[in-house]
Amino acid sequence: MRRAMYLMGVLDDSDIGWLASHGTALRAPAGQILIREGQPLDSLFVVFEGQLRVTVGGKPIATLHAGEVVGEISLIDSRPPLATVTAMNNAHLLSVSKDLLKRKLDVDKKFAANFYRALAIFLADRLRTTTARLGYGSPTQDGEQDTGAELGDDLMETVSLGTRRFDELLRRVSR
C-alpha cells in the first residue's frame, strides 16, 4: 500500500491545497541522494514518479515507488534517519520543509490531528508488514502468514479518496 494514499485520504481538500502551495516540486536524477543515513533531514518527500532505493549501511532494504512518503519518521522524532534514500531513476517529488510543516502542525489542530492519524495508520501498516516478513504473527487457515493485505471498508474508502487527492496534488504541483 502506498503510504501517501493514507495521508491524502485523511487530509481534506484545503490541506492538499496547502501542501501544493507550500511544497516544492523537485526533480531528482538517477543516483541523487535525497536522504543520508545519520544526517539531519530538513524535508518530507512525497514521491510522484520514479523509484527510490532505501539502504542501511550500504545494504538495500526497500524500493519506494510513486505514492510513497519519505522522511516521516525523522519528522516525528527529530532524530537523523537510519537509512539512505537514493533516486534509482529520474524521480519527481514534492518536498515540504520540515520546519514549515511543523509550524502548520502547531497552528492548525485539525490538520495536525488528520496528519498524525494518517501517519499512525501507515506506520502500523508498515509494522504489520515487517512483522509478517520476519515470520511473526498469526498464520492464516492455509498456513500462510497474514500480511495484513486486506483493508477494512473504511480504510479502503480512505485510500480511494487519497488516490484522488494525490492525483490533484500532482496536477497542482506540475502546473
Please report whether residue 138 resides in a domain: no
Judged against a pLDDT cut of 60, whether residue 147 lies above it is answered with: no
On whether the CB atoms of residues 105 and 62 are closer than 8 A, the answer is no
User: pLDDT of 15-44, one tens digit each?
Assistant: 889 999 999 999 999 999 999 999 999 999
Please report whether residue 82 resides in a domain: yes
User: pLDDT of 67-114, one tens digit each?
Assistant: 888 999 999 999 999 999 999 999 999 999 999 999 999 999 999 998
Residue 161: partners with Cβ closer than 8 Å, 6 or more residues away: 8, 9
* Alpha carbon distances (Å) from 104 to 22, 52, 111: 10, 27, 8
* 154 vs 81, residue with greater confidence: 81
Judged against a pLDDT cut of 60, whether residue 154 lies above it is answered with: yes
CATH number of the domain residue 113 falls in: 2.60.120.10
* Total tally of structural domains belonging to the chain: 1
Average pLDDT, the chain: 85
